[in-house]
Amino acid sequence: MNENTLVWMRRDLRLHDHHALYQACKTSKNVYLAFVFDETILSKLPEKDKRLNFIIDSLKEIENSLQKKGTSLSILKGDPIDEIPKFCKKMKISQVFTNRDYEPYAKARDSKVASLLKDGGIDFHTFKDSVFFEEGEIRTKSDTVYKVFTPYKNRWYELFSEQGANISDYKPNLKSLAQLENKKSITNKDWYKELGFISTPSVLTAGTKEARKRLKVFADYIQNYDEARNFPAMDQTSNISTYIRHGNISVRDLLRAGMEGTTNGHRIWTSEIIWREFYQQILAEFPHVQKRSFKKDYDSIKWIGGTKEFNAWKSGQTGYPLVDAAMRCLNETGMMHNRLRMVVASFLCKTLLVSWQKGEAYFAEKLLDFDLAANNGGWQWSASSGTDAQPYFRIFNPYSQSEKFDKEGVFIKRWCPELAGFTGKKIHDPSKADMIEQSEAQCTLGVDYPFPVVDYKHKRNEALEMYKKALKG
């Protein structure tokens, strides 16, 4: 049995069902835990970033649990390539355990860390944890990568059954944690100031306790998920995507919840988890999607939308109520309902004719649950440039989407209160309101709320021509 082992925590901010921690506690007398504030990542963030608050609060929850066990979480700051080997030397670590991260930056970083540790005689072990099946495990009969979701999902279920339909639970024996007192812990130091950020509280309570609470509440109405998930005002999604992103809860927790019932709601929610793994596989196998289109022909599109349109979209001032409400919600909370993500993405690319890369980057800056693979996959699906994406000629009509999924305008009125006086179809398209109706609604178009920044029908035709021209070569 090894003497000292380090568990390097990253996107797995929890102490339960944690693969690397479980394996470390099995093989070592003294297990240390560390988290690195990666300055390479932090340097790209605005000084007010709600995600940093979420991470720090998650770390504080872990630290409070560890202190009850007579130990502490070591918090490091800098480049992990420097900080991890330095910590290992200081604490006489013989092996480092961590859960795998599939993003290109993370893979390159981990490769460098592993090489430096090897030079120092320290073993570096990684484990599958954030997904149930990872790259290379779900393959076609001809041993190629699935590029269409439904066959991938079917094979996912087949492999799951072949393995006994067993969802492992990695329960670490925390008695193996090294006794460590840390006077500079996450709980007694101003880490916002230390990192050069301004504390910006999240609308969500961070941590595993809250994640489990939300999953338990969701269990009461998951059977309706297949229908209710499309209506943003109903608030009947799980609301735990941010907790998934930061690893407050495990993928196995999610699958247990999804597979404990046989309703359409259970089935569709489990399918969403598998979509997440599908996009992780695509990013891992085709890393070019991070910057370019999965379908390379789509890189030739000449996006003709301008700065005016993009800024209107970002600020929720397009004159299309459902789009504006969704974007204002994102800007205020860092959250967006999945149906609305598709609506605003399609609108940016196929109505405003602005490139999906710009929209993806804006979501990356704002979303509390930002995940490179899922965000990239979703945007390329909407832009028709991705794997198994909607056809380029399928363009969401923002008016019909609004009437169908927010019929009474409940969500719109919450985030665009200046429109609260409109009723019926005018809440979805206030530009059709005459002066008397505007007066009755106490909302003057062009003053209190903008006219549409573009004409939908005209831009729809323009989008089709733009795609056709690019794809003809």
Question: Which residue is it, tokens 């927790």?
Answer: 253
Distance CA 417, CA 435 (A): 19
**pLDDT tens-digit map of 275-324:** 999 999 999 999 999 999 999 999 999 999 999 999 999 999 999 999 99
Q: Per the confidence metrics, is the pTM higher than 0.75?
A: yes
356 is catalytic: yes
Active-site residue, from 356, 360, 375, 381: 356
Residues 197, 47 contacting (CB under 8 angstroms):
yes
Say whether pLDDT at 196 is over 70.
yes
Window from 219-223, 345-349, 380-384 with minimum mean pLDDT: 219-223
CB neighbours of residue 271 within 10 Å: 18
Bridge-based pairing state of the strands 123-127 and 95-99: parallel
Active-site residue, from 134, 338, 365, 397: 338
156 is catalytic: no
338 is catalytic: yes
**pLDDT tens-digit map of 212-240:** 999 999 999 999 999 989 999 888 888 99
Distance CA 343, CA 321 (A): 12
**pLDDT tens-digit map of 235-264:** 888 899 999 999 999 999 999 999 998 999
Fold category of 131-168+208-285 in CATH: 1.25.40
- pLDDT for 187 equals 86
Q: Name the average pLDDT for the chain.
A: 94
- pLDDT for 168 equals 85
313 is catalytic: no
Is 251 strand, coil or helix? helix
Q: What residue spans in the chain does CATH classification 1.25.40.80 cover?
A: 131-168+208-285
Q: What residue spans in the chain does CATH classification 3.40.50.620 cover?
A: 2-129
379 is catalytic: yes
Q: Give which of 361, 358, 381 is closest to 370, Cα–Cα.
A: 361
Active-site residue, from 191, 379, 381, 415: 379
Percent helix, strand, coil in the chain, to 5, is: 55, 10, 40
Contacts of 332 (CB under 8 A, 6+ apart): 415
Domain 2-129 has CATH 3.10.105.10: no
Window from 89-103, 112-126, 203-217, 228-242 with minimum mean pLDDT: 228-242
- pLDDT for 185 equals 80
CA dihedral 322, 325, 327, 328 (to 10 degrees): 170
Active-site residue, from 275, 313, 381, 415: 275
- pLDDT for 457 equals 95
Fold category of 296-471 in CATH: DNA Cyclobutane Dipyrimidine Photolyase, subunit A; domain 3 (1.10.579)
Distance CA 258, CA 9 (A): 26
Banded model confidence at residue 473, pLDDT cuts 50, 70, 90: low
Say whether pLDDT at 183 is over 80.
no
- pLDDT for 232 equals 92
Active-site residue, from 39, 272, 365, 418: 272
Active-site residue, from 182, 285, 303, 418: 303
